[in-house]
Amino acid sequence: MGTTRRFIRALQNPRLFFRGLNRTYHTRAGLRSENTDGLDIFDEDWDTLIVLDACRYDMFEKANQLEGALSSRISKGSATTEWLQANFDGQDLRDTVYVTANPQLERNRENWDITLHETINVWLEDGWDEETGTVRAETVSETALDTIKQFPHKRLVVHYMQPHYPFVPTDTQFDKEHLRQLDDGENSPAKENLWNQKFMGKLDISREQLWTMYVENLNYALECVEELLEKLSGKTVVTGDHGNYVGERASPIPIREFGHPRGLYDDPVVRIPWLEYESGPRREITAQSTDESQGSINSQLVDERLQNLGYK
C-alpha cells in the first residue's frame, strides 16, 4: 500500500492515525527497523528451532504441555517480515536449512541478503491446503522429518503457520474470507484481514471468541509439534516469531489493538515463548559452502498465498 493511500486511510479513521503515532514512538520516528531489545535467534544454542507463527508467550504458557524448560524472550519484530529481516538478512547461515509454511522470505528474497544452505517452501503446491487456505501443521511436521534425513548435519528452522489464522480446527468463515474472494476472481476488491477488520470495528465478534479460536489453533499446532519432538534428536527450541494483540491497549496512546502491526513493540506482540528440550545426541553441524538455488517461483502464487493468510 502506498504512502498516500495510507495517509488517506489514517485521516478517515482516527484509530489508524493513533496507530501511526504509536509506531513513530516505538521505531523512534523510523530510526529503528527492528526491536533492538530482541534476541538474535542464531546466537542461541539449538539444533532445531521450531517457530510458531504469531505465538504469544502468555497464551503458550497456559496451553503448553510439552516437556522442557520454558521461559520467555523478546522478539526482534512484531511481524514476520521484521523478524526475518532482523535475524536472516546478511547472516552467514550456510549451516542452516529453513523449512517454512510462511511465504514472506520468498516475497522479500530479492531485497535481502540470504545465505541459507537450503529453503524448503512448504506453502508451494503440494503443501498448500485449499480447504483451509493455509499450510496444515501436520504437513510441516512431515516435511521437517524428511528434511532432517536429507540434511543430518545442518541446523533446522521449522516455521509453522499456526497459531496465525486461518483457524484450522474451527468451522468458521470470517477468518477464511480471502478464499471466497479468490474464488470470485482476480478483480474482487481486496478485503481487510481479520485483525484489521476487528481493529476498524468492521467485525462483529468478541475478543473472548477470538481468543478461544486462537487457543484452539495453537493447541492444534502443539499436538503436531509434540509428535515432531518425539522424533528429533539433539537440542530443540520451540518459540514464536512474534505475538499478537487481541484487544490489549497499545502504548503510548492506549488504543485497543488487534493483530501484529509492524513497528509496535508492546509485550503482546514481542514477548514470545522459549522452550528448550533435549533428547538424544546433538547433531554435528557443518557449514560447507553451497549455492542455494530456489528456481523460479511464480510471484502471483506468492501473492495469492499471502492473501490467503491475510497479508495482502
Strands 69-74 and 155-163 turn out to be unpaired
Kindly give the residue spans of alpha helices, DSSP state H, lying in the chain: 3-12, 14-26, 57-63, 80-88, 104-108, 137-150, 177-183, 194-199, 207-229, 267-270, 299-308
Per-residue pLDDT at 302: 66
DSSP string computed for 94-113: TTEEEEES-THHHHHGGGS-
Say yes or no to pLDDT of 188 above 80: no
DSSP 283: P
Determine the Cα–Cα distance for residues 93 and 114; give it in Å rounded to an integer: 8
Query: What mean pLDDT is predicted for residues 206-216?
Result: 96
Say yes or no to pLDDT of 206 above 50: yes
Say yes or no to pLDDT of 1 above 60: no
Query: What mean pLDDT is predicted for residues 30-36?
Result: 91
Per-residue pLDDT at 182: 41
Structural element, H or E, at residue 226: helix 207-229
* Cell numbers found for residue 149: 534425513
Helix, strand, or coil here: 292?
coil
Determine the Cα–Cα distance for residues 126 and 108; give it in Å rounded to an integer: 22
214: number of CA atoms within 13 Å, CB side? 25
- What the chain holds in terms of domains, given with CATH numbers, is 3-280+298-308 (3.40.720)
Q: What percent of the chain has pLDDT over 90?
A: 74
101-to-46, 123, 232 alpha-carbon distances in Å: 20, 5, 19
Per-residue pLDDT at 183: 43
Per-residue pLDDT at 174: 85
What average pLDDT does the structure give for the chain? 89
User: What pTM was estimated for this model as a whole?
Assistant: 0.89
Query: What mean pLDDT is predicted for residues 181-205?
Result: 71
Q: Decide if 170 contacts 62 (C-beta within 8 A).
A: no
SS3 content of the chain, % helix, strand, coil (to 5): 40, 20, 45
Per-residue pLDDT at 189: 45
Determine the Cα–Cα distance for residues 150 and 46; give it in Å rounded to an integer: 19
Per-residue pLDDT at 59: 98
Q: Using one digit for the tens of pLDDT, what is the confidence trace for 232-289? A: 999 999 999 999 999 999 999 999 999 999 999 999 999 999 999 999 999 999 887 5
Say yes or no to pLDDT of 187 above 50: no
Per-residue pLDDT at 99: 98
The model's confidence at residue 30, banded by pLDDT at 50, 70 and 90, is confident
The model's confidence at residue 46, banded by pLDDT at 50, 70 and 90, is very high
Q: Using one digit for the tens of pLDDT, what is the confidence trace for 90-138? A: 999 999 999 999 999 999 999 999 999 999 999 987 899 999 999 999 9
Per-residue pLDDT at 296: 57
